[in-house]
Amino acid sequence: MWKALTKPISYRSAKLRTPRDAIGTAYWIARGAKHALWIKVRKDRWLCFGRRSIAACLAAYAQTPGAGAPANDHLIANGITTIPGHPTVLKTTQLGPHSRRGGRRLSARLTPDEIWRALQDRGAPIVRRPVSAKQIAAAEAALRFRFPPSYVELVTGGAPALARGDVGRAPRAEELEFAVLTPAEIVRLTKELRRLDVEMFEDPASLPRVTAQLANAVLFQLGRDAGEGYVFLVNTADAKGEMRIGEFSHDYLEELDWRRSSGAVFRSLAASTLHAAKQIERDLPEP
């Protein structure tokens, strides 16, 4: 049952309203032939869908809720504010618990592949890009590096990534979120990562230190965007070929700290995958 909101909503009242909205609150926005569905799925977290009808929006939410664009109370308040001269149909309702439940609880006890599949079971729009043994061998030769067995096992069924909106049949990592890179992308982006210039640093004396650190880093996964991600720390390989993982951010290049005691170092691929999965989980309906 949708309730039409016929009275004008000021930005001030909208800012007070959205933080108080209960989880499950939904707004239906219609501007001409365009329809949008905005649903509160967690505290200060909304998912947004745009389609040609409200029925299509609801179907998209039911099928793959995580495909919706994430937003917060502030952004939704902007959206429901009545703007003079912009005729808008605004309705609201309270949706029940999301029907798509199940899947394993996210834990470092799971394998990286199991963590990705648990996210997909919860409604995250996961895509898998094909990886072959030949591609792995070529990348290892180019980088003079052997991938840890955990990476090879993960990408055997395809390199997983989070997709929002429409992506092509063969999307590049930069078009996705939290993308585990294919071998060719690892070669390309690792070489870019190691390409430094003194002008990138506030203190030019940092260049030798950062250069040495990146010489032992192989970028294998992006974060929310291409400026952040995760690297294999080559000089930490154990007898099985497994390595510790370092978190990377281009904005903090000069402040890299990959000592074992650093909070930016993970003991395994499963641990770093869980760190990424927790960020993805925040944009999914509560279990």
pLDDT of 58 strictly over 90: yes
**So what's the pLDDT on residue 267?**
94
Nearest to 248 by CA among 268, 210, 222, 275: 222
Q: Residue 64: is its pLDDT beyond 70? A: yes
Cα separation, 30 vs 199, in Å, equals 49
Q: How many CB atoms lie within 10 A of CB 41?
A: 23
Residue 51: pLDDT above 80?
A: yes
The predicted structure's pLDDT at residue 100: 56
Q: What pLDDT sits at residue 206?
A: 85
* Domain positions in the chain: 3-94, 112-281
Whole-number Å distance between alpha carbons of 66 and 280 = 9
- What does the pLDDT average to over 20-44? 94
pLDDT grade for 246, boundaries at 50, 70 and 90: very high
Centroid of chain to Cα 95: 25
Which pTM value belongs to this model? Answer: 0.87
pLDDT-wise least confident of 43-57, 119-133, 166-180: 166-180
pLDDT at residue number 103 = 62
Task: Give the pLDDT score at 196.
Answer: 86
Return the sign of the alpha-carbon dihedral for residues 72, 73, 78, 79.
positive
DSSP bridge partners of 91: 4, 28
Q: What is the percent of the chain with per-residue pLDDT over 90, rounded to a whole number?
A: 71
* Class in CATH terms, 112-281: alpha beta
Q: Residue 84's pLDDT is what?
A: 74
The model's confidence at residue 97, banded by pLDDT at 50, 70 and 90, is confident
Mean pLDDT of the chain: 91
Read off the pLDDT band of 222 (50, 70, 90): very high
101 pLDDT band (50/70/90 cuts)? low
Mean pLDDT confidence for 254-263: 85
What Å distances lie between residue 143 and 184, 201, 258, 273, CA to CA? 10, 26, 21, 23
Bridge partners for 219 per DSSP: 231
Using 50, 70 and 90 to split pLDDT, how confident is the model at 99?
Answer: low
Dihedral sign from CA coordinates of 42, 45, 50, 53: positive
**pLDDT per residue as tens digits for the range 157-214:** 999 999 987 777 788 999 999 999 999 999 999 999 999 888 888 888 888 888 999 9
Which residue, chain included where needed, has tokens 């005729």?
Answer: 87
Does the pLDDT value for residue 147 go beyond 80? yes
Asked whether residue 247 carries a pLDDT value surpassing 80, the answer given is yes
pLDDT above 90 for 120: yes
